[in-house]
Amino acid sequence: MDLSRVSQGEMVAGVGGVLLFISLFLSWFSGGSTSVGGFTVSTSANAFDAFSFMWILMLVIAILVVGVAVASATGSAGSLPPNAHMIVAILGVLLFGWTFGWDIENDSAGVGSWLALVASMAIAFGGYDASRSAVAAARPRRTVPAAPPAQGGSPPGSGPPPSGPPPSGRPASGPPASEPPPSPRRPLS
């Protein structure tokens, strides 16, 4: 396992998947406390107790997201679908919407639900960032076209210097020493 193969987005999404898995075991609902026979009992429920189906979906998302990061770390990311990172981002956004709604609607939302909210943001951002970097890596780089060859058939400076005088018969470095410098032109009146 080589972590240098894992992009920043895959790392963030993978950490989000681990946090989502941990959040399933924490308190999602704190119902308050009740007194039973002189004892005060606090009622709370983790995701497995609070939900009948949603915990299965969150567990599958956590495993999928961590699996994508592990596949990149082990070098088997080529076996993933080409849009795997975008699927991770979409699942993160959907999970964010659900956990955000849960946390806002329940005034007694526990720490597990808030941790799942943070995890879903990490999954969504990480998947999006990984998909952007995968698209940028797949996009061909533009190259600047070479300058057209000079009249001599070769690019300037690539061949031996020409022998003999320049085509105009005068040296290229200015007027000959025997001629006076040209006079400035006067405007026509």
> Residues 146, 148, 153, 158: what is their CA dihedral angle, to the nearest 10 degrees?
-40
The residue that leads in pLDDT, 147 or 24, is: 24
Residue 23 lies in a domain: yes
Whether residue 22 is predicted with pLDDT greater than 90 in this model: the reply is yes
Residue 18 within any structural domain of the chain: yes
Contact 23, 62 (CB under 8 A): no
143, HSE (Cβ side, Cα atoms, 13 Å): 4
What pLDDT is recorded for position 25? 92
By residue count, the chain amounts to 189
Query: Total structural domains in the chain?
Result: 1
Backbone angles phi, psi at 167, to 5 degrees: -55, -30
CA dihedral 37, 45, 50, 121 (to 10 degrees): 160
pLDDT band at 115 (very low <50, low <70, confident <90, very high): very high
Domain around 55: 3-138
- Please report whether residue 108 resides in a domain: yes
> Does residue 41 sit within a domain?
yes
Asked if the structure places residue 20 within a domain, the reply is yes
Residues 6+ apart with CB under 8 A from 123: 13, 16, 17, 20, 61, 65, 88, 89, 91, 92, 95
141 pLDDT above the threshold of 80: no
With respect to residue 7, please indicate whether it lies within any of the assigned structural domains.
yes
Angle at 90 between CA 87 and CA 92, to 5 degrees: 110
The neighbouring-strand residues paired with 42 are 33
Decide if pLDDT at 90 tops 80: yes
pLDDT digits (tens, 9 = 90+) for 160-189: 666 666 566 555 565 555 666 666 676 666
Mind listing the pLDDT tens digit for each residue in 144-165? Answer: 666 666 565 555 556 566 666 6
Q: How high is the mean pLDDT of the chain?
A: 78
In a domain, residue 98? The reply is yes
State the distance between the two ends of the chain, measured CA to CA, in whole angstroms.
85
Residues 46-84: tens digit of each pLDDT: 888 888 888 899 999 999 999 888 888 887 777 777 788
Report yes or no on 156 lying in a domain.
no
